[in-house]
Amino acid sequence: QKEVEQNSGPLSVPEGAIASLNCTYSDRGSQSFFWYRQYSGKSPELIMFIYSNGDKEDGRFTAQLNKASQYVSLLIRDSQPSDSATYLCAVNEANQGGKLIFGQGTELSVKP
């Protein structure tokens, strides 16, 4: 059973701090990694994707991938109350086209 694991949280950080969200996956053949943000009662929206080992930065967001450790993370710098949401890690299932396996999500709360 291929799995994607995330701490469910809640993760609470003060406004302006760095929030660090972590995800591990079991399928060594996975090649694509996605972070989605989901506000309460809403559908997921893509924040970032990463395919290669290392860091990828987009504004206040940085995704980090380490395939050897089967670990992917999302850093949010200068966290804002509007970042408060559930963050879902998704990993493609090897040799299954675009099929994604989702983690259960980490709830982030940014306190003003």
Partner 1 sequence: GAGVSQSPSNKVTEKGKDVELRCDPISGHTALYWYRQSLGQGLEFLIYFQGNSAPDKSGLPSDRFSAERTGGSVSTLTIQRTQQEDSAVYLCASSLASGIQETQYFGPGTRLLVL
Q: Which residues bind partner 1 (CB under 8 A)?
A: 4, 6, 31-32, 34, 42-46, 49, 51, 88, 90, 92, 96-105
* Cβ 72 to partner 1 shortest distance, Å: 15
* Cβ 85 to partner 1 shortest distance, Å: 14
CB nearer to partner 1: pick between 18 and 94:
94
Please state, as a whole number, how many other Cβ atoms lie within 10 Å of the Cβ of residue 20.
Answer: 15
Q: Which residues of 61-74 are buried (b: 16+ CB within 10 A; e: fewer)?
A: bbbbbeeeebebbb
* Cβ 5 to partner 1 shortest distance, Å: 10
CB nearer to partner 1: pick between 76 and 88:
88
| Phi, psi angles (nearest 5°) of residue 48 | -155, 160
Is residue 82 classed as helix, strand or coil in its secondary structure?
Answer: helix
Is residue 83 classed as helix, strand or coil in its secondary structure?
Answer: helix
CB nearer to partner 1: pick between 76 and 101:
101
DSSP strand pairing (19-25 vs 4-6): antiparallel
CB nearer to partner 1: pick between 34 and 110:
34
